[in-house]
Amino acid sequence: MMRALVFDFDGTILDTETAWYEAFREAYSEHGVDLTLEMYSQCIGTSLHRFNPYEYLMTERGLPLDKDRFRESVHLRHSELMRREEVRPGVLSYLEAAKEYGMKIGLASSSTREWVDKHLRQLGIESYFETVRTADDVRQVKPDPELYVLALSDLGVDGREAIAVEDSPNGARAAISAGMHCVLAPNRITSLLDFPATGIAHRLGTLEDLEFRRLIASSSQF
């Protein structure tokens, strides 16, 4: 029996990731560098440890850029692109349905608490979540399962009793490692990436592709 639903945030609830990639790609292009999705995907759904798009042009390409000014320009462009973004399709109906089913609802994000809280407030959905775990709470973000393990502990459920909703390969790996049932709803950027071959219960275009009641009904097959 499924007792909990745990969402990722960036790319899953709100597609911030496509806008970040577009903002960085435009900035790189101004300096004659092609930022490929293969390069950028190293930091999607995780930390900037493997690939830091703010520093790459300076550290790897040797360009004499002002780091703060570069960051500011990327953030400004990202904000402009985000004006067209809304809560992703099906997210609100899943939150409402989980609430009606009496399920516990949590959030596990590799972003900072400040970032997540700001957007949850702006979207008006913070009250749905009984626990919110972010990069501020763990030593290792996704694909390490620590974020999900903490969220599950907060909610008092076992991984086998919980569904994770994710959009990225790193997020999926974290959920699977935590023993959860993973439902994928990739966005425009993450849909192009390679996901784990096993351990994914459903892969959807958006959450609207599978009614929540049908997801729960199929849980006996997980």
- CATH code of the domain in which 110 resides: 3.40.50.1000
* Paired tokens of 91: 């997210």
Query: What pLDDT is recorded for position 133?
Result: 98
91: burial class by Cβ within 10 Å (0-12, 13-18, 19+)?
A: buried
Q: Confidence band (pLDDT; 50, 70, 90) for 21?
A: very high
Query: What pLDDT is recorded for position 34?
Result: 97
Query: What pLDDT is recorded for position 221?
Result: 66
* Paired tokens of 75: 């953030």
Place of tokens 């219960």: 201
Do both 99 and 192 map to the same domain? yes
Residues 6 or more apart in contact with residue 140 via CB below 8 angstroms: 146
Q: What is the mean pLDDT of residues 117-128?
A: 95
Query: What pLDDT is recorded for position 218?
Result: 86
Q: Assess whether pLDDT exceeds 80 at residue 178.
A: yes
Query: What pLDDT is recorded for position 207?
Result: 98
Do both 100 and 171 map to the same domain? yes
| Catalytic residue set | 8, 10
Do both 63 and 168 map to the same domain? no
Q: Confidence band (pLDDT; 50, 70, 90) for 219?
A: confident
Helix (H, G, I), strand (E, B) or coil at 62: coil
Cβ count near 169 (within 10 Å): 21
Query: What pLDDT is recorded for position 84?
Result: 84
Q: Assess whether pLDDT exceeds 80 at residue 12.
A: yes
Q: Rounded to 5 degrees, what angle do the CA atoms 192, 196, 199 make?
A: 130
Q: How many domains does the chain have?
A: 2
Examine the fold and report which residue of 82, 113, 129 is the final residue of a domain before the chain moves on: 82
Q: Tell me which residue of 211, 125, 200, 209 sits closest to 166, measured CA to CA.
A: 200
- Percent of the chain scored above 90 by pLDDT? 90
| Tens digits of residue pLDDT in 67-121 | 999 999 999 999 999 988 899 999 999 999 999 999 999 999 999 999 999 999 9
Is residue 158 a contact partner of residue 152, using CB atoms and an 8 Å limit? yes
Do both 158 and 121 map to the same domain? yes
Sign of CA dihedral 201, 205, 206, 207: negative
Maximum distance among all Cα pairs of the chain, rounded to whole angstroms? 57
Phi and psi at residue 181, to the nearest 5°: -90, 120
Q: Assess whether pLDDT exceeds 90 at residue 46.
A: no
Q: What is the mean pLDDT of residues 51-67?
A: 94
Range of the domain at 182: 4-15+87-221
Q: Confidence band (pLDDT; 50, 70, 90) for 220?
A: low
Euclidean distance between CA atoms 18 and 123, whole angstroms: 18
**Which bin fits 102, alpha (ψ -120 to 50), beta or left (φ > 0)?**
left
Examine the fold and report which residue of 56, 82, 108 is the final residue of a domain before the chain moves on: 82
Query: What pLDDT is recorded for position 222?
Result: 65
Strand order through the sheet with 162-166: 131-133, 104-108, 4-7, 162-166, 181-184, 200-203
* Paired tokens of 218: 């199929």
Residues 6 or more apart in contact with residue 49 via CB below 8 angstroms: none
Euclidean distance between CA atoms 103 and 105, whole angstroms: 6
Do both 120 and 45 map to the same domain? no
Query: What pLDDT is recorded for position 47?
Result: 84
Q: Confidence band (pLDDT; 50, 70, 90) for 209?
A: very high
Residues 6 or more apart in contact with residue 128 via CB below 8 angstroms: 95, 99, 105
